[in-house]
Amino acid sequence: MIHPVSPGSIFMLPHGTRIVHKLQDFIRKQYSKYGYEEVMTPLMYKKDLWETSGHWQNYKDDMFLIKSGREEEGCQHHYDQDQQNNIDEGLFGLKPMNCPGHCLIFDSTPKSYRDLPIRLADFSPLHRNEASGALSGLTRVRRFHQDDAHIFCAEKHIASEITNCLSFVDYAYSAFKFPKYELTLSTRPKSHYIGSIEEWNHAEESLKNALNTTGRPWTVKEGDGAFYGPKIDIMVRDSSGKSHQTATIQLDFQLPRRFGLTYVDENDQHQTPVIIHRAVLGSIERMMAILIEHTHGKWPFWLSPRQGIVIPVATQYTEYAKKVANSLSLGNNSATETQNAVDRYYVDVDTSPRDRLNKMIRQAQLQQYNFIFVVGQKELDEGTANVRTRQGEILGTMTIPQIREMFASLNAKLE
């Protein structure tokens, strides 16, 4: 699924990429329900932006910095006068998080209280210069993706927005069938934080109130907050009992002030919004690693990179096998299928050298294909496939529309 190149760097191979897309699609389907708009933002910004956000002062050692090789027009004379200033002029940072870019989007047009809350979501890759000793497989890498989002709202919206975020988390983790997850409140760091203690106390109190409304137990991690605000971290336990930090919900009064963000309230007065930073999956790569352990590679159908494979009983049926696979891969093209069906499914064809049929079926089961479709002359004549599961259960002969309806039903129920 993955191939390491150097510490913290990976290639994502085809089946791993399928899972990434499945996870992203799973989250995207909920965006309309929870009111998110997806955006795309640059991968790097000039030093000035990171100074405005506070990352330069508090996070620079964890960023990848890039020096532009192209001198800007009129910079040579400036270079002769002050070489260091010129170096800084062409210095960029790869983004470790999306919040500064989303602040720029919010500030691109005037905002009214009627516009709030504004919820911006972003799947852009992020880069963090993690220490070599901290790197660990997929769970901590230097380039990764988050289902990242930022909610710009008024203070009166904080409780309801955090409640919605926690509801989103609960929906997702129920779908993953995690047996348990825990809520923790991470408070102000002892150093390298921005804003006043009074503002931090107010933010922490707001998160405590939101946590109390869930009715779930929660604990405190003293000093483990982000430099710009306290946060709620979600810890999940997989089927092996291992604990992992995944989702996060962070409350931020600082960045809106640093970027000069405002909206006009009901009295035509300019007010500063609050930002809620939110990731339901956290790092998609880390979530993949957790789910691999949790499922032991036996992916539920809706998330599986190997949803089906068609095995022809002889070489002369290979073209029909490909036709069946293509028809099943098209996915939602039937009026009877639910709106939750995906646009396509992952159905492969076994084109390996001919072997005994039982051995080919066994190999497909070991590869954890959810369904195995065997086709021969009878299936070619009738336009059908003989269906069995990876557990060895024989479902019998089914038409292509019947199989698609079965796929859609499993997908809709997240099974």
Active-site annotation, residues: 99, 128, 146, 148, 150, 231, 277
* Phi, then psi, of 46 in degrees rounded to 5: -65, 160
Q: Is the dihedral of CA 151, 171, 17, 7 positive or negative?
A: positive
Smallest CA-to-CA distance from 96 within 139, 62, 52, 134 is with 62
Any idea what DSSP says for residue 221?
Answer: E
Sign of the C-alpha dihedral, residues 130, 143, 251, 101? positive
Torsion of CA 164, 165, 168, 172, to 10 degrees: -160
Residue in the structure block whose two tokens are 């086709």: 375
DSSP E strands, 24-108: 37-38, 44-46, 65-67, 91-94
The conformation of residue 314, written as its DSSP 8-state character, comes to S
* C-alpha pair distances (Å), 53 with each of 57, 145, 174, 229: 9, 21, 35, 13
Residue 176: C-alpha distances to residues 31, 43, 252, 302, 408 (Å): 18, 30, 29, 10, 18
130 alpha-carbon distance from chain centroid: 19
Q: What angle do CA 29, 185, 164 make, to 5 degrees?
A: 30
Residue type, 186: S
Amino acid in the structure at residue 15: H
In angstroms, what is the C-alpha Rg of the chain? Answer: 25
